[in-house]
Structure 1
Amino acid sequence: MSLTEARFHDLVDETQKQLEDIFGESDLDLDLELSAGVLTVRFENKSQLIFSRQESLRQLWLAAKSGGFHFDYNEKNSRWACDTSDELLGEMLVRLVEEQSGAKFEFEEL
């Protein structure tokens, strides 16, 4: 069953809020910007992660230094999963954040 538009927006909003909380509570020197549904995380070394919603596809997209990734929401496990690798968003973020910032983060809720 595909997500309704309202459910999709609620899920992306909730995910972006969780990300803001996780990054905001860290000791890293970073900038967070949420504008027009796009969350940008800028690390001290100028690298960034960009989370955007793709409404027509009902996907959450992530742009990182190592590439672009597209996530579908799996209602069964209540998680975002990469559409090509099935890697969960939280698992991928642990790896990408460490690659880009050198910091270790936990994204268990994602």
Structure 2
Amino acid sequence: MTESEFNDRVDETLEAVEEILDDAESDLDYESHGGMLTVKCENGTQVIFTRQPPVSQLWVAARNGGFHFDFDPTSERWLRDSDQAPLAEVLSEIFQAQAGEDFSFPF
């Protein structure tokens, strides 16, 4: 994947996350700048998304740890590098734990 393709994939993913958060029942604030998306939960915790072009990864930092995701062109999904868990599942778990809300992510 070229750096341009990588950046396009990350942009699409972060935009999808923002759309889901806009429809949230809980009060979630987010800020996006410089390739980073910071989500602030009502309880004061944060979920931070950052792009890592040198390694073509999307990184997610949450209360329960930091996770690195590689884009799998075969399945067209971001998969956690440690165990191949899909980003959508990991984010659902993170937001359930930190925001107390169930989200279904479309990727």
Q: TM-score range by the shorter chain?
A: over 0.9
Q: 1:95 aligns with which of 70, 93, 105?
A: 93
1:89 is displaced (CA, Å) by 0.2
Q: Which runs of 4+ in 1 moved over 6 A?
A: none
CA RMSD of aligned residues (A): 0.6
Where does the alignment leave 5 or more consecutive residues of structure 2 unmatched? none
**Partner amino acid, structure 2, of 1:29:** D
- Paired position in structure 1 for 2:20: 22
1:27 is displaced (CA, Å) by 1.7
Percent of residue pairs bearing the same amino acid type: 43
Q: 1:33 aligns with which of 31, 37, 42?
A: 31
| Structure 1 range deviating more: 10-19 or 25-34 | 25-34
Q: 1:54 aligns with which of 46, 52, 55?
A: 52
- Paired position in structure 2 for 1:65: 63
TM-score by length of 2: 0.97
Corresponding residue pairs, total: 107
1:25 is displaced (CA, Å) by 1.3
TM-score by length of 1: 0.95
Take 2:27 and 2:51, find their aligned partners in 1: how far apart are those partners? Answer: 25
Higher relative contact order (CA 8 A, sep 6+): 2
Take 2:63 and 2:83, find their aligned partners in 1: how far apart are those partners? Answer: 18
**Partner amino acid, structure 2, of 1:32:** Y
1:101 is displaced (CA, Å) by 1.2
1:102 is displaced (CA, Å) by 1.1
